[in-house]
Structure 1
Amino acid sequence: MSITSSKIRSIPFFRLWAGNAGSGIATWALPFVLGFMVSNGDLTALELGIFLALRSAGFLTAVPVGGVMADSAGSRRVILIASLAAACGTLLLFLGLFANLPLRSTLAALGVILSGMGQGACRPAYQSIVPSVVSRDALQPANAALSLSVRATVLVGPATATLIASSWGPGAAILGIASLWMASALAPPWPHESVADAVADTGRVSLLGRFLHDLLDGYREARRHPWFFAGLAALSTVIATGYSVTAVLVPLISRDSHGDASLLTGSVTAYMSGALLGAIAASRWRPAKRGWWALLGLGTYGLVPLGLLAPVQFWIPITAYFLAGLGMELFNIVWFTAIQDEVARAKLARVSSLDFIISYGLAPLGLSAITPVTNILGTTTVLIATSIVCFGAALAANTIPTTAEFRARRR
């Protein structure tokens, strides 16, 4: 225990911890600030859905590029470039929302797209750099510590963001997000990294050809792990339905049931509190059937839409968010550790990028469809259906061989 602990208390890991915290908080904070603006009437729910969908589109565009580049050129270089791009995109969004400039809407749209691209390229790079900083036996405590850094800070984030937005306006909060992306660019260490071999006869292969070859090579590696696609299908379903519904509807439900952003703020705080507890538990708990427990945690997100059926009873949705945060954090830490532990090191970023591409691939469709679907079917029907889908996805994934342990049966 002491050896493992010392490996995640080193200066290189602390720098990685700080950079990851900056990127994670910045990723979370932007939807919250935009949701706060909806609650205050500064944005409409439709504009919020469009902005979130555009950011997701930018994310999906950059994820495969970031994965291929991280495996071939090094994860640290990708973190630097992607974080700077996200910072620039956040500044463009600020100008589009608050500066008296022509084509403000275009600037804002370009800003959220560029911000999403930076976020997308960062995600597989941050996942693939961890084994270069800590040893294999320290991966799960390291992932728990990385997640803990974000959750512990974001635990006080809603109140801080609300205070900043209320005192100095949401523009100040958005500028703070840009500074977090700068921290993500500069803080992490520059470890020695294993990179993938270059394609033979590169002079005769186009850039697109090399990119597709490398991407397909990552897909072939992922196919060696049946549990990966089973878990990924369940995760994608929860994100496309559960995450999309709550991201768009919670600001409106908060406004309609309480007249302010109190439910929005409380739900984020409760979710992060549960995630904080989940990260602490996952840092020490290593169950034999880690996949089974992880998928059980994933399925708890189905409690959130059920809790939102009774928003006036404040404690009901807050409790649901707390339990969902605990379960989702258990899933995330075990999931990332399994990928880092099982996947070949030189292909890790590409498999991680495949994870993010598929899991977030349906998010733009879900985000853009929520408002019209809710207008047709009603909020109650959408929330009940979303809950059923989240529970069912986790249960279905457990029927696939090798998911119980998130480990391929080989060797």
Structure 2
Amino acid sequence: MTWTEAIAPLRNRNFAWYFASRFVNTLGNMMASIALAFAVLDITDSPIALGQVLAARTIPMVALLLYGGVIADRLPRTLVLQVSNVGSAASQGAIAALVLSGHAEIWMLVVLSVVQGAVSGVAFPAMASVLPQLVPRSELQPANALVSLTRNGMMVLGPTAGALLVVTVGSGWALAVDAATWLLSAALLLPVTLPPKEPGAESADTVRELREGWTFFWATPWLWQVVLGFGALNFIHAGAWFTLGPAIADDTIGRQGWGFVLSAEAAGLLLTTVVLLRVRLERPLLLGMLGVALMAPPILLLGVSPHVVGLVVAAFLAGVGMEVFGMGWNLAMQENIEDGMLSRAYSYDALGSFVALPVGQLAFGPLAVAFGVEEVLVVSAVAYVAVVALVLCSRSVRDLPRAPATPVAQVTSGTS
């Protein structure tokens, strides 16, 4: 794949506007996570309060994912995204106004975070499934890579920009900037035109559509097997890496050292995205699951030998593997699932993945107290590899090929 082919999706008018919208939206999100944390801590020093605000967003998001899949398969996906963006802008703007006026209380932030989580849950399946309607199938890999390039680049730059805004103008104004990015993101989607929905797509029988989605999910072995495996992997990842990791780093490599480790992981994601702009990914699920297994070494090192250099190298390789999986998974979904079912498939995927995150976050602290940190992390690393191996025992996962470069559904031209 040449560089000309790698950036070909940007010559498509629809994708170019969508890409601009995602860029603005991702930048705002990365800044907002820092700004909201400091806004809460400005009100109260309690980490429990911060956890309540964050959970208030996560719980309704998970609860509404399946409904979001039905909505995105029923309505134009750009419309779903625009409404969600406007809703997020309104709730984030309200939080910013409360913080700037000095009237913010934790319960107010909790209520507004519930609104944000709800609109995010409805919009997530639409965001995940809209690409096949924007570009021809032959351009799905570079299109996904360009979107990943934006996301991974913002993982490096966004938190720094957010912290700079918090330090210079305060968390309230940083949140106001994020609210503005939501509005701009919605406006940038206005020029995007999608092919019309197939007859019958406007059906309003939500229960029937959810049942159809579940039937398809369970009848597609590679789909439910990977999602089931990732439920276990996310349980381990959230608990071992994101919950125990900072606590161990605080006592060993220090907070700055942990920052280096996380930055190395982001660098691995970013570099791999650039490579995948040029290199065609065959056997997407086989290579993706092998890539995921690279998360086990940093978990193991964290338990038995937490040194900065080793963890930085291992985290970088883990980032490489995670990006290979992310690309492989999106290609498997977008190339092998018809457009009318794609959003519901993504919603069941997200539900199976996200539900395990808070469980892991809550479970690993007590497990470490009961059995010891090193023992829990060593078992976690071994279990991580074992889960990957079990998923790869499935021939439908190992052998799933790239689909021929012919469109599943008509893509509007929009080429400039």
Q: 1:380 to 1:143 in 2, by over 3 A?
A: same
For structure 1, the residue ranges without an aligned partner over 5 or more in a row are none
For 2:66, give the aligned amino acid: P
- Distance in 2 between the 1:17 and 1:316 partners? 36
Question: 1:337: Cα distance to partner?
Answer: 1.3
Q: Deviations over 1:96-121 (max 9, x none)?
A: 7776437x221122233222223322
Deviation at 1:145, TM superposition (A): 0.8
Residue deviations 1:104-143, cap 9 Å, x none? Answer: 2211222332222233223211222111110011111110
Q: 1:290 aligns with which of 284, 290, 295?
A: 284
Q: Which residue of 2 aligns with 1:69?
A: 71
Q: 1:145 to 1:317 in 2, by over 3 A?
A: same
Measured in 2, the distance between the counterparts of 1:41 and 1:306 equals 38
User: Corresponding residue for 1:277?
Assistant: 271
- Give distance in 2, aligned partners of 1:36 and 1:23: 20
Aligned residue type for 2:85 = S
Query: What letter corresponds to residue 226 of structure 1 in structure 2?
Result: P
Q: How does 1:42-191 map to 2 (within 5 A)?
A: 43-94=45-96, 100-101=102-103, 104-188=105-189, 189-191=191-193
Query: What is the TM-score with the length of structure 2 in the denominator?
Result: 0.83
Q: Distance in 2 between matches of 1:176 and 1:244?
A: 32
TM-score, with normalisation over the residues of structure 1? 0.84
Whether the 8 Å CA contact 1:71–1:196 is kept in 2: the answer is no
Shift of 1:244: 4.3
Identity score, percent: 22
Q: Conserved in 1, the CA contact under 8 Å of 2:8 and 2:139? A: no
Change (3 A) 1:401 1:81: same
Q: Which moved more, 1:48-57 or 1:343-352?
A: 48-57
Query: Which residue in the other structure is 1:218 paired with?
Result: 213
Q: CA deviation at 1:299?
A: 2.0
Tell me the equivalent position of 2:307: 313
- Stretches of structure 2 that go unaligned for 5 or more consecutive residues are 404-416
Distance in 2 of aligned mates of 1:97 and 1:246:
32
Structure 2 equivalent of residue 193 of structure 1: 195
Output the CA distance in 2 between the equivalents of 1:307 and 1:176: 39
Q: Distance in 1 between matches of 2:250 and 2:168?
A: 20
2:332 to 324, 333, 338: 338
Letter in 2 for 1:221: F
One-letter amino acid of the structure 2 residue matched with residue 278 of structure 1: T
State the shift of 1:268 in Å: 3.4
Aligned length: 400
Distance in 2, matches of 1:28 and 1:282, equals 23
- 2:229 maps to which of 208, 225, 234: 234
Q: Give the C-alpha shift of residue 151 in structure 1.
A: 1.1
Work out the CA distance in 2 between the residues paired with 1:339 and 1:199.
Answer: 20
Alpha-carbon separation, structure 2, partners of 1:97 and 1:376:
40
**Aligned partners of 2:6 and 2:277 also within 8 Å:** no
**CA drift at 1:312:** 6.3
Tell which deviates more after alignment, 303-312 or 76-85: 303-312
CA RMSD of aligned residues (A): 3.3
Would the alpha carbon gap of residues 85 and 304 (structure 1) be closer, same or farther in structure 2, given more than 3 Å must change?
farther
